């Protein structure tokens, strides 16, 4: 992944994070992903008074990608302000798994820049995915 892509992902995640609806946790998150065509799709967390109904920034970014007609995640960056780098929750790792590959970069950033770099395989080893269903259809 080239640096211009990283800069663009960071800028998109930082911008969308400002739109987060996080009145309950006060923890605003922005996520931006790059699809197979090099387009960027972004999302922020959207909390709800009925707490479990809230959605993560990554889920919003994946929804934006699908709505835009893309199906592959080349890289995804998550941006939040926390003492430790913020990685996607378990459910979002599975969401990324649906459209990513084992070596898909998952980047953790803070407001000041990139903080940590992982791969999907590292965060979700021995995972379940679409290919497991191939014999069931
Ligand atoms: N959150 C995200 O949007 N993405 C993450 O990677 C971690 C957590 C949100 C969910 C909730 O709105 C808030 O952060 C606190 O958990």
> Whole domain around residue 130: which residue ranges?
3-136
CATH number at residue 46: 3.40.140.10
Q: Token pair of 123, please?
A: 């965060």
Residue 112: pLDDT band with limits 50, 70, 90: very high
pLDDT > 90? residue 84: yes
Arithmetic mean of pLDDT over the chain: 96
- Contact partners, residue 60, CB within 8 Å, separation at least 6: 16, 31, 42, 43, 44, 45, 46
* Tally of structural domains, the chain: 1
Q: What is the mean pLDDT of residues 102-119?
A: 98
- Contact partners, residue 17, CB within 8 Å, separation at least 6: 28, 29, 30, 44, 57, 79, 80
The alpha carbon of 48 and the centre of ligand 1 are apart by a number of angstroms equal to 12
pTM of full prediction above 0.75: yes
* Atom 13, ligand 1: residue with shortest CA distance: 27
**Which atom of ligand 1 is found nearest the CA of 78?**
6
- Contact partners, residue 106, CB within 8 Å, separation at least 6: 75, 76, 78, 87, 88, 96, 117, 118, 119, 120, 122, 123
């Amino acid at each position: 992944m080239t640096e211009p892509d990283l800069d663009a992902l960071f800028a998109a995640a930082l911008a969308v994070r400002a739109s987060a609806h996080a009145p309950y946790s006060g923890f605003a998150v922005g996520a931006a992903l790059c699809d197979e065509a090099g387009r960027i799709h972004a999302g922020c967390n959207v909390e709800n008074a009925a707490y479990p109904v809230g959605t993560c920034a990554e889920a919003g970014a994946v929804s934006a990608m699908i709505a835009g007609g893309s199906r592959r995640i080349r890289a995804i960056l998550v941006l939040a302000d926390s003492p430790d780098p913020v990685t996607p929750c378990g459910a979002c790792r599975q969401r990324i798994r649906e459209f990513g590959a084992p070596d898909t970069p998952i980047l953790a950033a803070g407001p000041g820049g990139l903080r940590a770099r992982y791969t999907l395989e590292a965060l979700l080893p021995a995972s379940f995915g679409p290919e497991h269903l191939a014999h069931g259809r």
